[in-house]
Amino acid sequence: MKCKIVLIGAGSTSFGPSTLLDLFQSEFLHGSTIVLHDIDKEHLNIIYELITTENKIHNDKFIIEHTTNRRDALKGADFIINSIEVGNRFKLWREDYKIPRKYGSKQILGECGGPGGTMHAFRIVPPIVDIVKDVEDICPNALFINFSNPMARVCLAIKRTTPNLKFIGLCHQIGALIYHLPQMLNKNLENLKLKPYGLNHFGFLMGLEEISSGMDLMPKFNKIALEYFKKQEHKFEFSSLTFEVFKRFGYFPYVGDNHLGEYLQFGEEFTETQDMVDWINRTEKHGERIYRKVMRNYKRLKEGKYLKKGMHSKGISGERAVPIIEAIITNQPSYESAVNIPNDGIIENLPQDLIVECPVTISKSGIRGVKWGKLPINIAAVLRIEASIQDLCVEAILTKSKEVAINALAIDPNVGSFEIAERIFTEMKELQSEFLPKFQ
């Protein structure tokens, strides 16, 4: 079925090619128009040339367009997939990590939570707000799919800025748990219904069901999980912090130590500082490998030696945007385990003005969260702390208030001091002024 899909940030060698990989495998989107948009003209042209070549290899499956003009790109769009970053991602990420720690913060990563996550949000939210305002103006019936981090804060800003816009946020972190379940439970993955609830990068597996029999698998999971994951222990995924929180809270946090610890004051107690630095370095090296691969293929293209089967002959990226689009346009009801959407009664004892990560059902009529009710009081308590920080963070951005920005930093458990918050804010404002709102 034909539709128009716009990729914003398509000049990225990680985002553009991986999304097209999924699109080329689709059985339902033949004849659709794919618009590649980026403000970086040079990188956009490289990706466009590669994707145009790939499209010919796939018998011109799509109509491929590209433009640096966002408003032109959005005309008539049915779906927009956004994955932008601002500035030099890894240079800024290292500043987000190091500067707060320099002044006494115990944050462990600084990507989506802690004071580093707040600074990240200060940079990335304003341009995304501009994007969704254009979407609301030009193609108000389109579905906006966000991949940009910090996910929960970005999506909360979207909700507050364009409350009538249809949007979701997608993150592949649930995959860290999904990978282990078939081996752990001796069940086919297709026969498992996961019920994770919480915030992005800060969620818990609340339910697990065998689809064919309706059997509740949580008792078995809880009984064997600690022993199983200790044998599979990995410093970047399920390790000491995950095990401690599982024992204390009674439900398994599915996001891995490096992400979970961003939101908890005691995160540093159960993680190694060097492991977090290694994660940032590893993520950067992974991106560099992808970049080199794409550029090698571009060189082959310019030399007339391009791969006969292309880059996208098989495989999928593991991201869920394309399957969700397919479910909507074909009206084939489906269930997605972890999608970021407005709370709207899904979790009763968390703020309703909040973005939660939860299971959803999808059909042509829309995307609806699967309601859970009340989370255990201890889990709800720690999630509400982070919800308050996100509330202030987004308010600071939308009002450009320096006072609220410093408050958002100060109340974070990984700061806990106005003096430290002001020192962090002052130095980061000097280092990153070109990317930050004009706080007054």
Q: Would you call 172 a catalytic residue per the annotation?
A: yes
Q: Three-class SS string for 332-350?
A: CCEEEEEEEEECCCCECCC
Backbone angles phi, psi at 357, to 5 degrees: -105, 125
Q: Of residues 172, 180, 201, 259, which has the active-site annotation?
A: 172
Give yes or no for a contact between 57 and 31, defined as CB atoms under 8 angstroms apart.
no
**Hey, what are 59's tokens?**
């018998």
**Hey, what are 319's tokens?**
């991201």
Is it true that the peptide bond before 150 is cis, omega within 30 degrees of 0?
A: yes
Cα–Cα distance between 358 and 420 in angstroms, integer?
34
DSSP E strand boundaries for 22-113: 33-37, 63-67, 79-82
**Hey, what are 264's tokens?**
């908890």
Task: Go through 399-410 and write b for each residue having 16 or more CB atoms within 10 A of its CB, e for each that does not.
Answer: eebbebbbbbbb
How far separated are the first and last CA of the chain, in Å rounded? Answer: 49
Alpha-carbon 427 to chain mean position: 27
Q: Which helix (H) or strand (E) holds 6?
A: strand 4-8
Is residue 416 packed enough to be buried (19+ CB in 10 Å), middle (13-18) or exposed (0-12)?
middle
Sign of CA pseudo-dihedral 347, 352, 358, 362: positive
Residue 129: partners with Cβ closer than 8 Å, 6 or more residues away? 157, 158, 161, 397, 398
Q: Which helix (H) or strand (E) holds 243?
A: helix 240-249
Cα–Cα distance between 433 and 224 in angstroms, integer?
49
Site of tokens 């106005």 = 418
DSSP assignment of 254-295: TT-HHHHGGG-TTGGGGS-HHHHHHHHHHHHHHHHHHHHHHH
CA neighbours within 13 Å on the CB side: how many for 336? Answer: 31
**Hey, what are 427's tokens?**
């130095």
State the catalytic residues.
Answer: 172
